[in-house]
């Protein structure tokens, strides 16, 4: 079958070459078909490789989210921004390139391993910081010196290696004898106040008295930081065991630990009151012992040692003095012993060897009013001039 003849219009269309649109403004080589001389076309040269950039690095003409922008056929579109190897990459891109090129991370699970290592490192740093904080705190607490009940933590104890909470400890309460009243008895010699000499500004040492008391932790069922106090072979023969201490005037300049109790005071008169002249001993069975152990108020530091009383008497109910390191109480102290008149005040007997007393002695003793008081006062502050 014969080919249809080619019309002049078709021939002209075939010979006419279309214009090439180059987006970057450059021209391509001649037509890739056979040229008018019938020579084969030149091999196509691929454009040089350029790294793919993110949308943020494209020119505005190439950034769109909808339809591509319209360009007129009468003019060439804006040219590309060609990549320049000499231009440094942003810091974030350089870091990502290094991370992606790392062989350890490129392997399977590399990112997970990296995150696990970072998490372990953070945990180790936190553990070291917490350990250092706890260690420094314990070191500070163990080295802090004792002070008042509001700021101190340690008190005097028999064992220097044992840490205790103030005011726990064994203390010497050194005071001056400042008061002696005998109104509760008709025979004044039956009431006495050790060391039998009142404080005078020019004769202080002869009026020094000393209480040896032990302060220990109280019952755990009581309010927190409760304490008890016990006597320990003092020359006053007022013996007691585990009497609760109470904190008074807390937070003020007059803050103190105080206690009071009813006890028996024993007195040996310096002259005999028995008909036959034998030595006698008298008991005040309802004596009120009251003490105020201040924690902020200053007191006189008494360094002289009191003379030991010859009226040693019994120390039943007191604690042992063996291997106790007595510490002086560093603040003000006020102690009083008081008895009032009435029937059988005092009860006096002939003193005999052994635990039992001899016959009762009543000669010369008359009942005094309950408003009449016998008292001994001791303190180391606000002393008379």
d(Cα 156, Cα 168) in Å, to the nearest integer?
7
- Is 378 within 8 Å of 334 (Cβ atoms)? yes
Ranges of each domain in the chain: 169-378
* Terminal C-alpha separation, the chain: 154
- Tens of pLDDT, residue by residue over 242-251, are 999 999 999 9
- Tens of pLDDT, residue by residue over 228-241, are 999 876 555 578 89
- Tens of pLDDT, residue by residue over 197-240, are 999 988 889 999 999 999 999 876 656 568 999 987 655 557 88
Evaluate if residue 357 carries a pLDDT over 80. Answer: yes
∠ Cα 271 275 276 (to 5°): 85
pTM: 0.57
d(Cα 306, Cα 205) in Å, to the nearest integer?
8
Secondary element (H or E) of residue 20: none
d(Cα 293, Cα 333) in Å, to the nearest integer?
5
Evaluate if residue 364 carries a pLDDT over 70. Answer: yes
Share of the chain above pLDDT 90, in %: 41
d(Cα 304, Cα 197) in Å, to the nearest integer?
15
Phi then psi for residue 66, to 5 deg, are -115, -130
d(Cα 195, Cα 177) in Å, to the nearest integer?
7
- Tens of pLDDT, residue by residue over 98-149, are 656 665 555 556 678 888 989 999 999 999 998 888 877 665 544 433 344 4
Evaluate if residue 332 carries a pLDDT over 80. Answer: yes
Share of the chain above pLDDT 70, in %: 57
């Amino acid at each position: 079958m014969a080919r249809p003849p080619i019309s002049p219009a078709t021939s002209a269309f075939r010979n006419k070459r279309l214009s090439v649109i180059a987006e970057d403004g450059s021209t391509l080589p001649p037509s890739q078909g056979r040229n008018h001389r019938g020579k084969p076309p030149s091999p196509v040269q691929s454009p040089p490789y350029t790294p793919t950039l993110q949308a943020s690095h494209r020119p505005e003409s190439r950034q769109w989210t909808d339809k591509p922008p319209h360009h007129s056929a009468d003019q060439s579109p804006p040219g590309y921004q060609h990549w320049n190897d000499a231009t440094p990459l942003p810091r974030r891109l350089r870091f990502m390139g290094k991370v992606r090129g790392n062989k350890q991370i490129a392997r399977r699970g590399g990112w997970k391993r990296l995150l696990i290592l970072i998490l372990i490192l953070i945990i180790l740093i936190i553990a070291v910081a917490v350990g250092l904080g706890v260690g420094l705190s314990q070191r500070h607490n163990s080295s802090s010196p004792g002070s008042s009940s509001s700021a101190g933590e340690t008190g005097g104890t028999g064992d220097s290696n044992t840490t205790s909470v103030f005011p726990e400890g064994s203390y010497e309460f050194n005071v001056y004898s400042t008061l002696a009243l005998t109104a509760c008895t008709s025979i004044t010699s039956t009431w006495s106040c050790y060391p039998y000499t009142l404080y005078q500004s020019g004769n202080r040492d002869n009026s020094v008295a000393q209480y040896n008391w032990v302060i220990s932790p109280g019952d755990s069922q009581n309010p927190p930081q409760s304490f008890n106090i016990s006597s320990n072979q003092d020359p006053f023969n007022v013996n007691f065991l585990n009497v609760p201490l109470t904190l008074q005037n807390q937070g003020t300049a007059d803050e103190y630990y105080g206690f009071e109790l009813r006890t028996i005071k024993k007195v040996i008169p310096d002259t005999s009151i028995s008909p036959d002249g034998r030595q006698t001993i008298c008991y005040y069975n309802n004596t009120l012992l009251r003490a105020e152990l201040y924690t902020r108020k200053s007191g006189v530091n008494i360094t002289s040692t009191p003379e030991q009383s010859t009226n040693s008497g019994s120390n039943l109910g007191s604690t042992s003095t063996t291997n106790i390191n007595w510490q002086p109480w560093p603040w003000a102290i006020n102690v009083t012993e008081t008895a009032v008149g009435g029937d059988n005040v005092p009860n006096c007997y002939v003193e005999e060897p052994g635990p039992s007393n001899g016959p009762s002695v009543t000669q010369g003793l008359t009942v005094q009013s309950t408003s009449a008081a016998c008292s001994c006062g001791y303190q180391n502050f606000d002393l008379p001039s």
